[in-house]
A and B are shown apart, each in its own frame.
Chain A
Amino acid sequence: MEKAVEMIQIVKQFPGVLANDHVDLIVLKGEIHSVVGENGAGKTTLMNQLYGLLKPDSGEIRIFEQKVSFKGPRDAIAKGIGMVHQHFMLVNNLTVAENVVLGSETTRGIIFDLREAQKRVDQLSRSYGLQVDPTAKIEDLPVGMQQRVEIIKTLYRGAEILILDEPTAVLTPQETEELFSVLKRLKENGKTIIFISHKLNEVMEISDRITVMRQGKVTGVLNKNETDVREIARLMVGREVVFTVQKPPAKSSDVVLRVENLWVKDYRKLDMVKGISFEIRKGEIYGIAGVAGNGQSELVEALTGLRKPEKGRVILCGEDVTGKSVRELREKGMAHIPEDRHKYGLILQYPAYYNMILGRHYVQPFVKGDFLDHRKIQEFTKTIFSQFDVRPNNIKMLGMNFSGGNQQKLVVAREMSAQPKLLVVSQPTRGLDVGATEFIHKALIQLRDTGVAILLVSMELDEIMSLSDRLAVMYSGQIMGEVDPKEVTVEEIGLMMAGHRFEDLRRV
């Protein structure tokens, strides 16, 4: 079969990191080829070289069996390569059609024929089932649609080889499914697709062949039909990975958190949590599942002091803490792993050891009077770093310079080391690779076993089903039912997520 892409013995050195170490990548024409690897494995770097954004230090690139040397993306585009970046590069206040022609509207000088462009966009959108309205403004489109605009942009420029760098990281499961059917359509039309990911289920679903990378090197090239998730994970992480969480049953006794008829409004003053009641006991993980936007965020904010509830009571260890401030709640034993670690969890401009004390920056042992005790803070951070294996082991590095997985480890480590009675956890593994996910799951279970009560909110069904001791499903601000995850099917959970009450399901 014809080879669309050959990257041969590619080497790329960054200061301090050998990002690509003699990498070989061969992609056949008309296949969907996945490149997988943990964060920092060098996938993006490799693709940037294929797209002309970076120049390899050494090695050779061939496109359709012809040797090339790109000076920039323009050369790559001319050879039929298109790339959809991890971060979209669209102009928000322009329309879809305007964005698509941006940068390639040279045929008729400055004033190009927008109507012609719209027609072409519409045509492309139809023929691949993309369903994008060419006249819509980018800012009005959901993320999944914006991604399709990026795809159309590459097709408009005549791409035969499409690179998608972690396209599913920003998508909901439904959007991911839709993306996959688009990709299959593109493949049927003879396009070649390079799909970057670290989510193994997706890779198994969509690829024909898979190249696995670890620490800048290729550790395996596999046929989808001849491999399984376990093998890929091993090649990716470099050791066996445990997928099912090992978890002894909870030894629940005293109630740590009791929520009674809680009502919470969001910033638009709409009721988002409508009369929720539940209890979490010592040494128990209480899961809350549901589709994003059904009041989970507002519930978490109300429980952690970031938002005042309208009605109802919150009782922590027997004490009414309704409407108390973050500081008061933290002092009473609440800790919080937020869903957005960049917005809430970290001060990215602060060094790691400053981030390590956020929330406890004014208490012993981190202060001497009104002054920070830098020596104690740094010692504490060093201990935590080795305990949680944060990398790189540099406590003075700024928060922004850690990888996503290690940033999350910083947050998790900080909140767990506060010795909480109640830990509120929201989306703890969003955007993390297998290794980091496994680590955080284990850490949560361990914490549970020391008697901490954990409220876990997650959109990942697998995660919440395997970690929770008891599980509630939220829909439209209410709890549709509280179940034992071992005694319920995924279908039942799915129906509850869609607004069916558990009693009604079991009655039929």
Chain B
Amino acid sequence: MNNRLWAFLVPIISVIMALLISSVVILLIGQDPIVAYAALFKGAFGSKLAIASVIIKTTPLILTGLAVGFGFRAGLFNIGAEGQMVMGAMIATAFAINVAWMPAVLAIPLTMVVGMAAGAGYAAIAGVLKAKTGAHEVVTTIMLNWIAEYLSSYVVTVPMGVGFGTPKSPEIANSAKLPPLMTVQATELTSGIIVAVIAAVVIYIVLEKTTKGYELKGTGFNPYAAEYGGIKISQNIVLAMAISGALSGLAGTLEVMGVHHRFLGTLSGGKGFDGISIALIGQNNPIGIIFAALLMGSLRTGSNEMQFVGVPKHIILIVQAIIIFLVAADRIVRTILIRKKRVKAS
């Protein structure tokens, strides 16, 4: 069977197997898996509101998934999506607070560009360190995550902070807010999803169709051969980190522009790290990543409904963990599939 088909089949089979295995866990705690999964499904897709929440959750996940996946393709393990997301959101907010005088057609794209540039610049620090000194990006991006974490807590309480209670920045200018696609009850379905999907398509084109993509993937696969072929490794490392960081920065920026309308400090809640799982499930393919993010988004959203029928929502963490395990250990799935085919044949 060819590789493309595999890349497609493995995640799907993994999801099915993860649900089956988790149903055993649900049985063990004395609940009915069918009831639980029905609730999960209803929670994610049962109403307009549910679908809107799924899409809101999915949007940043697509972007952090892309950030990590793009890094992987260029041979880099960007664990810093979390920090880049925060920096992107913070600096984009600082910009977007002050753009009331601009029309939306200007304010919206400019805010995005500022957020992306912030994420890119922040990630590029790790890129430069790797290119110049060989410092591994896993270590440096983790360090940068902590710097971003504390810096943002400070910024959101002292220089940018307004009001009492939870630290928060002032609202951004109306002209920089993303227009909602639709409003369901009090929930606004952000148009950020469109931006995220466009980003995925752009990344796909860059990777598969352009000379730069050829160089970046080549460097990721075999830096020695890339260098032999006249590709400048250090330039490409910095560039790849910057693009990856720009995607994370955009994730944070869209949260500000479309959902919270202000900066809330460490708003990310682990979405940067979720990017790693999503990139893995999506097999580092931009289009695969859209679906992987959608899967995560719907599991997260649906799990609340599951809680109502008496199944702890943490079950979805088990489902998620098993999916990741199976995708990472895709040989297991392949072997099972091949067995099945053999059994059928004989």
Residues of A that sit less than 8 Å from B by CB: 304-306, 325-327, 330, 336, 338, 343-350, 354, 358-359, 361-362, 367, 370-372, 374
**Shortest Cβ distance from A340 into chain B, in angstroms?**
8
Q: Which residues of A contact B218 (CB under 8 A)?
A: 347, 350, 358
Q: CB distance A326 to B227 under 8 Å?
A: yes
Contact flags (1/0) for B89-123 with A, using CB distance below 8 Å? 00000000000000000000000000000000000
Residues of B that sit less than 8 Å from A by CB: 209-215, 217-218, 221-222, 224-232
Cα separation A124 to B186 with both chains bound (whole Å)? 83
Cα separation A354 to B213 with both chains bound (whole Å)? 12
Q: Which residues of A contact B228 (CB under 8 A)?
A: 304, 306, 326, 336, 338, 344-345, 358-359
Interface of B is mostly: helix
Q: CB distance B212 to A370 under 8 Å?
A: yes
Q: Given contacts A358-B218, A359-B229, is CB(A343)–CB(B224) below 8 Å?
A: yes
Q: Which residues of A contact B209 (CB under 8 A)?
A: 371-372, 374
Cα separation A371 to B215 with both chains bound (whole Å)? 12
Q: CB distance B230 to A326 under 8 Å?
A: yes
Cα separation A126 to B57 with both chains bound (whole Å)? 70
Across the interface, B211 reaches (CB within 8 A) one of A325, A345, A371, namely A371
Cα separation A325 to B228 with both chains bound (whole Å)? 10
Q: CB distance A348 to B214 under 8 Å?
A: no
Q: Given contacts A325-B230, A325-B232, A327-B230, is CB(A345)–CB(B214) below 8 Å?
A: no
Q: Given contacts A325-B230, A327-B230, A359-B230, is CB(A344)–CB(B225) below 8 Å?
A: yes
**Contacts A344-B224, A359-B229 supplied; 20 other A-B pairs, CB < 8 Å:** A326-B230, A327-B232, A336-B228, A338-B228, A347-B218, A347-B222, A347-B226, A350-B217, A358-B218, A358-B225, A358-B228, A361-B211, A361-B214, A367-B211, A370-B210, A371-B210, A371-B211, A372-B211, A372-B213, A372-B214
Residue of B nearest to A336 (CB): B228
Across the interface, B230 reaches (CB within 8 A) one of A330, A347, A374, namely A330
Residue of B nearest to A329 (CB): B230
Residue of B nearest to A361 (CB): B214
**Shortest Cβ distance from A335 into chain B, in angstroms?**
11
Across the interface, A361 reaches (CB within 8 A) one of B222, B229, B232, namely B229
Q: Which residues of A contact B222 (CB under 8 A)?
A: 343, 346-349
Q: CB distance B211 to A362 under 8 Å?
A: yes
Which of B209, B210, B224, B229 lies at the interface centre, i.e. has the most chain A CB atoms within 10 A of its CB? B229
Cα separation A367 to B209 with both chains bound (whole Å)? 10
Q: Which residues of B contact A347 (CB under 8 A)?
A: 218, 221-222, 225-226
Residue of B nearest to A326 (CB): B230
**Shortest Cβ distance from A347 into chain B, in angstroms?**
5
**Complex A-B: 8 CB contacts under 8 Å:** A305-B230, A326-B227, A346-B222, A347-B226, A349-B221, A354-B214, A358-B228, A359-B230
Which of B212, B228, B232 lies at the interface centre, i.e. has the most chain A CB atoms within 10 A of its CB? B228
Cα separation A347 to B225 with both chains bound (whole Å)? 6
Q: CB distance B225 to A343 under 8 Å?
A: yes
**Shortest Cβ distance from A424 into chain B, in angstroms?**
11
Q: Which residues of A contact B225 (CB under 8 A)?
A: 343-347, 358
Residue of B nearest to A305 (CB): B230
Q: Which residues of A contact B213 (CB under 8 A)?
A: 372
Cα separation A347 to B212 with both chains bound (whole Å)? 16
**Shortest Cβ distance from A490 into chain B, in angstroms?**
33
Q: Given contacts A325-B230, A358-B229, is CB(A372)–CB(B224) below 8 Å?
A: no
Which of A305, A327, A338, A362 lies at the interface centre, i.e. has the most chain B CB atoms within 10 A of its CB? A362
Cα separation A309 to B119 with both chains bound (whole Å)? 38
Cα separation A304 to B227 with both chains bound (whole Å)? 11
- Closest A-B pairs by Cβ, 9 of them: A327-B230, A358-B229, A326-B230, A359-B229, A344-B228, A349-B221, A347-B222, A362-B211, A347-B225
Residue of B nearest to A304 (CB): B228
Q: Which residues of A contact B212 (CB under 8 A)?
A: 370
Residue of A nearest to B230 (CB): A327
Q: Which residues of B contact A326 (CB under 8 A)?
A: 227-230
Q: CB distance A372 to B210 under 8 Å?
A: yes
Q: Which residues of B contact A338 (CB under 8 A)?
A: 228
**Shortest Cβ distance from A180 into chain B, in angstroms?**
34
Residue of A nearest to B211 (CB): A362
Cα separation A305 to B230 with both chains bound (whole Å)? 9
Q: Which residues of A contact B232 (CB under 8 A)?
A: 325, 327
Q: Which residues of B contact A348 (CB under 8 A)?
A: 221-222
Residue of A nearest to B228 (CB): A344
Cα separation A354 to B230 with both chains bound (whole Å)? 15
Cα separation A327 to B211 with both chains bound (whole Å)? 15
**Shortest Cβ distance from A203 into chain B, in angstroms?**
34
Cα separation A336 to B229 with both chains bound (whole Å)? 9
Cα separation A344 to B223 with both chains bound (whole Å)? 9
Q: Which residues of B contact A359 (CB under 8 A)?
A: 228-230
Cα separation A346 to B221 with both chains bound (whole Å)? 10
Cα separation A330 to B227 with both chains bound (whole Å)? 12
Residue of A nearest to B222 (CB): A347
Q: CB distance B227 to A306 under 8 Å?
A: yes
Q: Which residues of B contact A371 (CB under 8 A)?
A: 209-211
Cα separation A343 to B229 with both chains bound (whole Å)? 12
Q: Which residues of A contact B224 (CB under 8 A)?
A: 343-344
Residue of B nearest to A367 (CB): B211
**Shortest Cβ distance from B132 into chain A, in angstroms?**
16
**Shortest Cβ distance from A303 into chain B, in angstroms?**
13
Cα separation A325 to B232 with both chains bound (whole Å)? 9
Q: CB distance B215 to A361 under 8 Å?
A: yes
Residue of A nearest to B221 (CB): A349
Q: Given contacts A327-B230, A359-B228, is CB(A350)–CB(B211) below 8 Å?
A: no
Cα separation A347 to B222 with both chains bound (whole Å)? 6
Cα separation A19 to B137 with both chains bound (whole Å)? 45
Residue of B nearest to A359 (CB): B229
Cα separation A306 to B225 with both chains bound (whole Å)? 11
**Shortest Cβ distance from A410 into chain B, in angstroms?**
12
Cα separation A313 to B212 with both chains bound (whole Å)? 33
Cα separation A327 to B209 with both chains bound (whole Å)? 21
**Shortest Cβ distance from B312 into chain A, in angstroms?**
42
Cα separation A327 to B235 with both chains bound (whole Å)? 14
**Shortest Cβ distance from B255 into chain A, in angstroms?**
31
Cα separation A504 to B247 with both chains bound (whole Å)? 67
Q: Which residues of A contact B230 (CB under 8 A)?
A: 305, 325-327, 330, 359
Cα separation A359 to B214 with both chains bound (whole Å)? 11
Cα separation A348 to B223 with both chains bound (whole Å)? 12
Cα separation A286 to B228 with both chains bound (whole Å)? 22
Residue of A nearest to B215 (CB): A361
Cα separation A17 to B300 with both chains bound (whole Å)? 49
Cα separation A349 to B224 with both chains bound (whole Å)? 13
Residue of B nearest to A398 (CB): B3
**Shortest Cβ distance from B232 into chain A, in angstroms?**
7
Q: CB distance A350 to B221 under 8 Å?
A: yes
Cα separation A306 to B213 with both chains bound (whole Å)? 22
**Shortest Cβ distance from A430 into chain B, in angstroms?**
17
Cα separation A350 to B222 with both chains bound (whole Å)? 10
Q: Which residues of B contact A370 (CB under 8 A)?
A: 210-212
Cα separation A336 to B218 with both chains bound (whole Å)? 18
Cα separation A374 to B225 with both chains bound (whole Å)? 21
Which of B213, B214, B221, B231 lies at the interface centre, i.e. has the most chain A CB atoms within 10 A of its CB? B214
Cα separation A374 to B211 with both chains bound (whole Å)? 11
Cα separation A345 to B217 with both chains bound (whole Å)? 16
Q: Which residues of B contact A346 (CB under 8 A)?
A: 222, 225
